Every structure is written in structure tokens, then in C-alpha cells.
Amino acid sequence: MTVTFPQKGLPWLLLLPQLLVTAIFFLWPAEQALEQAFYQEDAFGLSREFIGLENFIDLFTDPLYYQSMLTTLVFSFSVAIVGMSLALFLAVMADRVIRGKLAYQTLLIWPYAVAPVLAGVLWWILFDPSMGPIALWLKSAGVDWNHYLDGNQAMILVVIASTWKQISYNFLFFLAGLQAVPRSLIEAAAIDGASPFKRFWTIVFPLLSPTTFFLLVVNLVYAFFETFGVIDATTKGGPGQSTTTLVYKVFDDGFVGLDLGGSAAQSVVLMAIVGLMTVIQFRFIERKVQYS
């Protein structure tokens, strides 16, 4: 128990700015979303009527919404798995080398600082069907690359751009995890004649599982909420709906489609999902304490 100060009014004064900002810019809009989800508003915002659960019923009977859910799942798991595998591979290599470790780290972590929308633009130009070097190279290899028309290719493009940005983060955490594996265990296995490959799969990888699980959650959250810029810059959710994730759909239906009630209902569903993910993350943190 920490020793405390006796003042009664002062703590409220200290909390006031945080609580004010939270109330005005978080709780009020959340309440508005909740309210709006039960109304239907005309496109000009002039009148609205109470329609009960209809927005939610519309939402859950809309095949496009389920498609968007599926798109989100495919996108998020692709980003998480591709990004984590590549980063783990690089981290294992970086853990092995003795010279230049810090230099390698520096040269691998900087994409973290690049804004998602800029990452999208950079990869877009590489894959542009009419002038991008990679697209032209693919064409000469017999792959007809055009992400404006082919939904799967559009998905591959947004996954690449989003993964590129996240590798740095995964790399740092995997490297820290690898450096925490006790040397004596690995030495003992080496004396028993286990090859580096076998040592990795039977000792190091299982010991990394807390890090791996933690990164999986963080990567999924990242792919869910922070990749808006990538999608907006490269595909705008298209072609068709092939790269419209749930978060992009909230924006698209609300600001482009002007379906305020539907967008609000989606916001409410998303808030529930975020709440669930936060709880999972926190339960995991309790477990992490036990591991260490």
C-alpha cells in the first residue's frame, strides 16, 4: 500500500482534464452511436424516427456484412501469420549473429514509424499494373497482375503493405523473447548432440509461446483497427467489396453512403468486439505474469 496525501479536493482537480476529454470525445459519441443505432435518419439529417432493432436486423441479414466479416478475418489472420513468421525467422537469425546485431535491428525496425497510408502508397506504386516494376515483372513471368480488377490480388496487396509495417514490431518482441531463453538449456541440448534446427523446434519455440500468443493478439488488433490508411490509399475497399474490412465499412457506409443508422449499428457491434478483445488481452497479461 502506497502512502497517500490527505487532500480531498485536489485529486478531482488532477483528474478533471482526463475525465472531461473522455466524457466529451469518448463517452458522448459512444452514447450517440448507441442511440443512433435505433433510429433511421434521412440523408440530410433533417428528421429521424425510432425504428427499434431494425438497423441491427438489417445488418445481420445483410450478406455484404458477413462477407465483410470474412474479409476481415482472412485479412487479419494473413497479416498476423505472414508477419509473425517472417519476423521470427529474421529474429532467430539476428539472435545467432554476434557482429552487427544492433545495426541489423536498426535497419529492420524503422518501418514501424511509417504511417499506414504511406506504406499503402509505396507498395501500390510497386504493384501498379501499368508501371509498377513488380507487377511488370510478374506479367513477364506469366501472372496477370491487376489489383484493380482481381479481388484476391487486391487482398494480397493490402496484406503485403500492412505486414511490411508490422514486421519491425514482431521482430523486436521475438528478439527479446529469444534473448530471454536460458543459454544453459540450449548448451545442454547441444552437448547431447541436437542440431540447431532440432534445438529450435523442441526447446526455443515452445519457450517462445507466451510471446507468440501475445503478438498474435496485438497483430490481430493492428490488422483490425490500424490498417484503415493502407486500405484507403490502395484499394478503397474494392474491387467490389473484396477488401472492405469491418472498420472500413463503418467509415464507408457512414461518410460515403450516408447510412448513419447502419453505420452506428456497426459501430456498436465493433465496440463489443473491441471490448471482447481487450478482455482477452488482459486475461493473457495475467498469465504472462505467471510465466515469468
Partner 1 sequence: MIENRPWLTFASHATLLLGIGLVALPVWMALVASTHPASAFGVGHIPLWFGDAGAETWGTVLFEEAGNGVDTPVWFMMLNSLIMALGITFGKIVISLLSAYAIVFFRFPCRNLCFWIIFMTLMLPVEVRIVPTYEVVANLDLLNSYTGLTLPLIASATATFLFRQCFLSIPGELVEAARIDGAGPWRFFFDILLPLSRTNIAALFVILFIYGWNQYLWPLLITTDDAYYTLVMSIKRMLSVTDGDIAWNQIMATTLLAMLPPVAVVIGMQKLFVKGLVDSEK
Degrees, nearest 5: CA angle 116-120-121: 120
Give the whole-angstrom CA distance, residue 33 versus residue 245. 19
Which 104-163 positions form the footprint of partner 1 (CB under 8 A)?
104-119, 121-123, 125-126, 130-133, 136
Q: Considering only residues 57, 176, 180, 256, which one is a binding residue for partner 1 as defined by CB under 8 A?
A: 176
Which 72-111 positions form the footprint of partner 1 (CB under 8 A)?
86, 89-90, 93-94, 96-98, 100, 104-111
Of 24 and 143, which CB lies nearer to partner 1 in the complex structure? Answer: 24
Q: Does 12 bind partner 1 (CB under 8 A)?
A: yes
Q: Does 5 bind partner 1 (CB under 8 A)?
A: yes
Of 69 and 126, which CB lies nearer to partner 1 in the complex structure? Answer: 126
Give the whole-angstrom CA distance, residue 41 versus residue 264. 11
3-state DSSP assignment of residue 38: coil
Mention every residue, 6+ apart, whose C-beta is less than 8 A from residue 123.
157, 160, 161, 164, 234
Which 233-292 positions form the footprint of partner 1 (CB under 8 A)?
233, 247, 250-251, 254-255, 260, 263-264, 267, 270-271, 274-275, 278, 285
3-state DSSP assignment of residue 39: strand
Report, in Å, the least distance between residue 288 CB and partner 1: 9
**E strands in 96-250:** none
Of 131 and 141, which CB lies nearer to partner 1 in the complex structure? Answer: 131
How many residues contact partner 1, by CB under 8 A? 97
Which 14-43 positions form the footprint of partner 1 (CB under 8 A)?
14-15, 17-19, 21-30, 32-33, 36
Question: Which cell goes with 173?
Answer: 518482441
